[in-house]
Amino acid sequence: MSMNLRVRRQNQTVFVGQLEPSSSVGTVKESLCEAIGETDLEEIRLVNAEGDTLEEQSTIGELELRNDTLIYWVKRLGGGDFESISN
């Protein structure tokens, strides 16, 4: 069953589609980076609404993410930390 996730940062939302429950978070991150023009995968992190980092090897099914679930992407700040979620 193909599904879509909504990935938000500040006032921008990107729809990442053609995903399966067996798709990894790393795959979602790669698709997102391609859509936003980011070339360095290490510069962004995917997190849930509680701010917990979604580990790249985890699958969508393992995380119980459903079709049209909203997750967030945050960017690395100058000091190496990542920004907070902005709704």
Tell me the domains of the chain and their CATH numbers: 3-75 (3.10.20.90)
Environment class of 65 (CB within 10 Å of its CB; exposed 0-12, middle 13-18, buried 19+): buried
Q: Count CB-CB contacts under 10 A for residue 4.
A: 13
pLDDT of residue 87: 58
pTM of the predicted structure, to 2 decimals: 0.91
Kindly state the DSSP code that residue 77 receives in the 8-state scheme: -
User: Model confidence over 1-60: pLDDT tens digits?
Assistant: 799 999 999 999 999 999 999 999 999 999 999 999 998 999 999 999 999 999 999 999
